[in-house]
Structure 1
Amino acid sequence: MQGLASLEQCPALILNADYRPLSYFPLSIWSWQDAIKAIFRGSVVVVSEYDRTVSSPSQEIKLPSVLALKEYIPAARNPAFTRFNVFLRDGFSCQYCGEEHKANELTFDHVMPRSRGGKTSWDNIVAACKPCNLRKGSKRLKECGMHLKREPRQPSIFELQENGRKFPPNFLH
């Protein structure tokens, strides 16, 4: 068995029974330990393996790199309302100035400010860079002379997946 630290760099991609990832954002991956447990439970099919192995006193097994579930898990109909999914919906772009940013450079902005009855929901939250969010403050768009690039709305799972494909993996994680 190789060193544990190096084994941590061997996650397994988890596919649904139709061979599509269970989730894209975050990408559905399991630790090597969880992957091995699933193999022994018989709940997965090994699709691909690393060249690395782990062993016990009685056997040696190749580490799986891709696993497919034997039973299909239906996809969620509506995506979770999370900061990351809002940024993904908005293409990691400020909805006021249009500039693209990394997730840690963006903020949530309530289009209708909370202080004026605005809700924290898909229809009232947009990604905003810090300077634009500061400029808007707790004002309505008309009061500060700002305009949205796109009206906020709830995306579908498919839309988030399509948006995610536009960015390199190291940009998303």
Structure 2
Amino acid sequence: MNATAASSAELQLAAGGSSDLDSVIEIMNAAFDDRFGEAWTRSQCAGILPMPGVSLMIARFGDGRVAGFSLQRGISDEAELLLLAVSPEFRRRGIGKMLLDHFLSQARDNGASRVHLEVREGNPAVIMYRSAGFALVGRRRKYYRGRFGGEFDALTLSRQI
């Protein structure tokens, strides 16, 4: 099956773990342009996975191809979306929204009343987050540092669930 024939109906979300890090890093490196400095390193991902309240969700097609992932953590009555990425070849198919909706549902089921995330100003995902009810609550100036020396603000978004 070619990539254009794949539909989100074939997509399954499943809990991920350290054995999925190769796929996570591959998608993250494809999804996040290195001129913005948004991608995490493999050691950052591996280091946070075993921490309490942290979970990884993998969006995988029936044939095994990984289309995207989200990394989140819950702390007390709050949850934070740490990372969400979709492989560029599978964008605009609702996969990011599916991962975001799952994060919100999981946070609610785990007792969170508020969720947070940070995103680079200008990242197209801001539109998805705003349409899901997230509002701007803060800004971190020059938070992201790109490979070529650029500095970019991070927007802190939040919403109640």
TM-score, length of structure 2 as denominator length: 0.23
**Larger relative contact order (C-alpha < 8 A, sep ≥ 6)?**
2
| Higher relative strand content | 2
TM-score, length of structure 1 as denominator length: 0.22
Query: Which has the greater radius of gyration?
Result: 1
